[in-house]
Amino acid sequence: MPKALLLENIDPVATDLLGAAGYEVERLREALGEDDLVAALDGVDLLGIRSQTQVTADVLRRCPGLTAVGAFCIGTNQVDLAAAAAAGVAVFNAPYSNTRSVVELALAEIICLARRLVDRDRSLHAGTWDKSAAGSHEVRGRTIGIVGYGNIGSQLSVLAEALGMRVLFYDLEQKLALGNAEACASLEELLERAETVTLHVDGRAGNAGMFGAEQFAMMRPRSLFLNLSRGFVVDHEALREHVLSGHIAGAAIDVFPDEPREQGDPFDSVLRGLPNVVLTPHVGGSTQEAQHDIGRFVAGKLLEYRTAGTTTLSVNLPTAALYGSSATRFAVLHRNVPGVLARVTALVGGHGLNVDGQVLATRGELGYVLADVSAPLPPDLLTALQEMPETVRVTTYGP
């Protein structure tokens, strides 16, 4: 029976789907360090993680039986994608499944900060009645600046406009504005014009430290700041200084440069205890609805790959799908050089098999041949495919 390991409290729907497909599933609540992860992956075919478990090149080297990794979240920076591709390990994620959850949290926090609800809540819990309109504002009519206009940023744009906010956005790529949103030519322009700035950028290395003292200084006095993207993009010391000086009137942070690995672990941050600052433990996408959708989506992608060779929406392999059925399907992941498809076809024909369907996809240095043939692969044909100098991995499906 093939095995799957699911870490970090992935929704049980993934366990159900994999189990129904014949997998023996081990499900753990916590993340695992490198050595523990390698030990746990002994005999495991599929690995499911969220944001804390690091799948490094060394882990991949020490676990040659691993065939696919599912990141049950948006980001994949916790996986060495190049090393995974070189090892023939497919990686899938859930780029859209928790978009709504993140957007709703951002909107809730914007309203919370504008009304200074954190301070009002703390006062009442401390036994002080502080009923005042001082520093409390409606969000209607205020200008929000969205940095990163992808799936989350664009949906936030639509809902913020529905609340009556004016929407500005900035993205490194040219994006079509939705509704009445206005694109800014530079980050500096957005910071000078927006009263609320919210970050929704991806995890690429170039975004590390993108928002620090210089950017906070450019923001309008008494503006609001949110980061629900990646912890390493913001200088928290600089944010602390600007909150204490009053230049930033409030902030909401959901992601941190260093996050505890397990539930209940201690947490520390220079932002703790600051006025009108909302700190949440990386829960932007953590609603029951989102986690269920993510569990179902990523588990489905893993099963499509392992049962049919489908790599659609893989983040590191060429993407291909072959529809129809045949006696045997096989896939050859290989170095992307000329002539491989012709050689594969010639080998199949030389063994008296007919190709019923075939597709080739390439991505960077890799190529991926997915083929249906009329009969089971003879052992010597399988060996010949594996021994081609360009081959990274050969996988067979069916008899």
Is pLDDT at 399 greater than 70 in this prediction? no
What is the spatial distance between Cα 362 and Cα 375, in angstroms, rounded to a whole number?
26
CB-CB contact of 39 with 17 (8 Å): no
262 catalytic per annotation? no
Question: What's the average model confidence in pLDDT over 248-267?
Answer: 92
Out of 182, 259, 304, 390, the active site residue is 259
- Parse the chain into domains and list their residue ranges: 1-97+287-317, 99-279, 318-399
Out of 120, 220, 230, 329, the active site residue is 230
What is the spatial distance between Cα 293 and Cα 367, in angstroms, rounded to a whole number?
31
What is the spatial distance between Cα 71 and Cα 155, in angstroms, rounded to a whole number?
22
Question: What's the average model confidence in pLDDT over 284-303?
Answer: 94
CB-CB contact of 373 with 355 (8 Å): yes
What is the spatial distance between Cα 162 and Cα 374, in angstroms, rounded to a whole number?
56
Please state the CATH superfamily assignment of the domain spanning residues 99-279 in this structure: NAD(P)-binding Rossmann-like Domain (3.40.50.720)
- For domain 1-97+287-317, is the CATH number 3.40.50.720? yes
The top-level CATH class assigned to 318-399 is alpha beta
Burial (CB count within 10 angstroms: exposed 0-12, middle 13-18, buried 19+), residue 360? middle
Out of 282, 306, 329, 334, the active site residue is 282
Q: Is the pTM of this model over 0.85?
A: no
Strand order in the sheet with 366-373: 355-363, 366-373, 328-335, 391-397
What is the spatial distance between Cα 194 and Cα 99, in angstroms, rounded to a whole number?
23
CB-CB contact of 252 with 115 (8 Å): no
109 catalytic per annotation? no
Closest CA to 32 of 65, 56, 61: 56
Helix (H) / strand (E) element for 322: namely: none
pLDDT, one tens digit per residue, over 132-179 is: 999 999 999 999 999 999 999 999 999 999 999 999 999 999 999 999
If you average pLDDT over every residue of the chain, what do you get? 95
259 catalytic per annotation? yes
pLDDT score for 24: 97
Burial (CB count within 10 angstroms: exposed 0-12, middle 13-18, buried 19+), residue 50? buried
For residue 323, report the phi and psi dihedrals to the nearest 5 degrees: -100, 150
| Domain 1-97+287-317 and domain 318-399 have a common topology | no
Confidence of residue 281 (pLDDT cuts 50, 70, 90): very high
pLDDT, one tens digit per residue, over 48-98 is: 999 889 999 999 999 999 999 999 998 898 999 999 999 999 999 998 888
